[in-house]
Structure 1
Amino acid sequence: MSIESDRNIVEQYNAMCRRAEEGDPSARAVKFIIDAVLEDKLAIDQLRMISNANKKDGPMAVHELFVTFYKQPQQEGAAAI
């Protein structure tokens, strides 16, 4: 990526974080998903599946799928201990 596109992404992320702090439910959901990806609690392939579920089945299907994916790494880690 170019430096300009990197700055644009950072600006968009910061703007979304501000909206999330102000209580925008969509921004809060996006921030939560991005944080899950950054913390390796959600893989890119899982994110694609969530996107496809949103297009096909809507927000409720996305919520259920996200919760399932989000809990998986935590359960696997707990089983390994």
Structure 2
Amino acid sequence: MCYGAVVPNGYGAAYNPHPDNIVVVISCWRTNPNNNASKFAEMLDSAFTEMRELVLSNPQLAKQPSNEPVEWSIAKSLGADVGLNVTG
């Protein structure tokens, strides 16, 4: 599982959620001195840790059903007909 960076000044990221963790693979072009996949991974890990702590600090709120739709995509929210059919 991996996605390569599409542009020289960007990152490629793939994720695979599991019940107790999320596996993330990050890539970038080494030819760009401003790219740093390790730093990106550290910041992402920090963000995931903060989100986990927020959820665990209020378990009753975390158990409430979401008002968000089960079916959602950025393209669809922008009006694209993507034929997305997700059931949860």
TM norm structure 2: 0.32
Structure richer in helix, relative to its length: 1
Which structure has greater strand proportion?
Answer: 2
Higher relative contact order (CA 8 A, sep 6+): 1
